[in-house]
């Protein structure tokens, strides 16, 4: 019934459902977060953390139902059959659109522990969601340009300190740590400016995940290498709400965490070079997989490569 409505009407309805779900879930979430902060007793805080996570998982479940009811997007997913909610994971994915986050939350819902992202610090002020991310102990990081670091060298290393503190918290309960290692969403302009060696991807940034593996490598059971491809190329969040993305293809590949991936990234130059080479090889394979997923799917129709799209179609 809802799917026969005009696309903009479905988009507005979907936004209202997202807002209502978020507002309802934030009430008990904020109450539990306050209770956790007020009682400095570790068993109590772990119990509050479990409760907060369950609320967030319920929020994701209702959001996924919203997408099913109001949208027309077909998800084709490979590689999630053997995953477990009892382990620790490091999730690495290419980044094309804000829709990526909703896709990842949906495909991993109740298959692995709740996803936690590294979020840009200004987003803490985003109404409801920013405070919810804080309550869920998402790490907030500040992005410093090379020019700013040259003028204020004391800022260097602050993002690694945030990562270190986050990893200490992540040790207590199973968690899935999500990282978009390209650091930004794909656009043709960024691809050209970077002189990226990949046809469909941007260059990687290795420091953050190297630090996570160096701090928690013995706990993380698998790295999940996730490749996301959109039919007709990446579009805006509004286009997704209106059902204007016919198909999204996702490939998940579990990788082992081996001893050679753990080391002192900041202080050991040889390790840094080996780690960067490993990540670059991973991204080269992902680039080929992206092309394969682009060419074939359940629909049997190829989908547009990013470089084939008009500039306004990429957010």
Task: Give a yes or no: residue 275 inside a domain.
Answer: yes
Give residues with Cβ within 8 angstroms of 310, minimum separation 6.
none
Structure confidence at residue 149 (pLDDT): 63
Separation of alpha carbons 6 and 242, rounded Å? 8
Could you give the number of structural domains in the chain? 1
pTM, to two decimals: 0.88
**Mean pLDDT per 10-residue section of the chain, whose length is 315 residues:** 82 96 97 95 94 96 94 92 92 95 96 92 91 92 69 69 79 91 93 96 94 90 96 88 92 95 93 97 97 70 41 33
Structure confidence at residue 83 (pLDDT): 94
Q: Tokens at residue 277, please?
A: 């080479």
Number of Cβ within 10 Å of residue 247's Cβ equals 18
CATH number of the domain encompassing residue 229: 3.40.1130
Whole-angstrom CA distances from 108 to 127, 219, 233, 273 are: 25, 19, 22, 32
DSSP state of 24: H
Structure confidence at residue 1 (pLDDT): 57
Structure confidence at residue 59 (pLDDT): 97
Structure confidence at residue 243 (pLDDT): 87
Q: Report the candidate in 178, 175, 193, 159 with the shortest Cα–Cα distance to residue 100.
A: 178
CA 175 to mean position of chain CA atoms: 13
Q: Which domain holds residue 147?
A: 74-313
- At 229 the three-state DSSP class reads strand
Structure confidence at residue 168 (pLDDT): 83
Task: Give a yes or no: residue 50 inside a domain.
Answer: no
Task: Give a yes or no: residue 41 inside a domain.
Answer: no
Structure confidence at residue 151 (pLDDT): 73
Q: Report the candidate in 104, 125, 126 with the shortest Cα–Cα distance to residue 114.
A: 104
Structure confidence at residue 170 (pLDDT): 86
Contact (CB, 8 A) for 191 and 306: yes
Structure confidence at residue 154 (pLDDT): 66
- Cα end-to-end span (Å), the chain: 30
Strand partners, 88: 220
Backbone φ and ψ for 252, nearest 5 degrees, come out as -115, 125
Whole-angstrom CA distances from 106 to 11, 12, 63, 76, 200 are: 18, 20, 8, 12, 23
Task: Give a yes or no: residue 168 inside a domain.
Answer: yes
Number of Cβ within 10 Å of residue 254's Cβ equals 14
Number of Cβ within 10 Å of residue 48's Cβ equals 20
Task: Give a yes or no: residue 18 inside a domain.
Answer: no
Task: Give a yes or no: residue 254 inside a domain.
Answer: yes
């Amino acid at each position: 019934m809802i799917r026969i409505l005009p696309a903009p009407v479905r988009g507005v309805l979907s936004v209202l459902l997202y807002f209502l779900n978020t507002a309802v879930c934030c009430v008990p979430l904020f109450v539990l977060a306050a209770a956790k902060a007020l009682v400095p007793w570790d068993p109590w805080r772990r119990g509050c953390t479990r409760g907060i996570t369950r609320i967030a998982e319920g929020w994701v479940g209702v959001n996924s139902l919203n997408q099913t009811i109001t949208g027309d997007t077909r998800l084709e997913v490979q590689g999630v059959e053997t995953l477990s909610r009892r382990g620790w994971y490091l999730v690495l994915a290419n980044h094309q659109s804000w829709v990526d986050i909703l896709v990842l939350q949906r495909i991993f819902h109740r298959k692995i522990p709740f996803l936690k992202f590294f979020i840009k610090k200004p987003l803490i002020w985003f109404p409801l969601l920013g405070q919810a991310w804080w309550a869920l102990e998402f790490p907030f990081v500040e992005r410093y340009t090379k020019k700013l670091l040259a003028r204020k060298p004391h800022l260097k290393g602050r993002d690694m300190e945030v990562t270190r503190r986050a990893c200490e918290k992540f040790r207590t309960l199973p968690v899935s740590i999500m990282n978009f290692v390209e650091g930004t969403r794909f656009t043709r302009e960024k691809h050209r400016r970077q002189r990226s060696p990949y046809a469909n991807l941007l260059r990687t940034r290795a420091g953050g995940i190297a630090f996570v593996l160096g701090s928690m490598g013995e706990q993380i059971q698998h790295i999940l290498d996730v490749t996301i491809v959109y039919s007709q190329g990446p579009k805006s969040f509004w286009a997704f709400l209106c059902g204007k993305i016919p198909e999204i293809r996702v490939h998940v590949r579990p990788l082992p965490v081996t001893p050679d991936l753990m080391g002192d990234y900041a202080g050991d130059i040889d390790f840094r070079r080996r780690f960067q080479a490993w990540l670059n090889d991973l991204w080269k394979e992902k680039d080929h997989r992206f092309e394969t997923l682009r060419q074939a799917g359940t629909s049997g129709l190829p989908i547009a490569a990013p470089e084939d799209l008009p500039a306004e179609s990429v957010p």
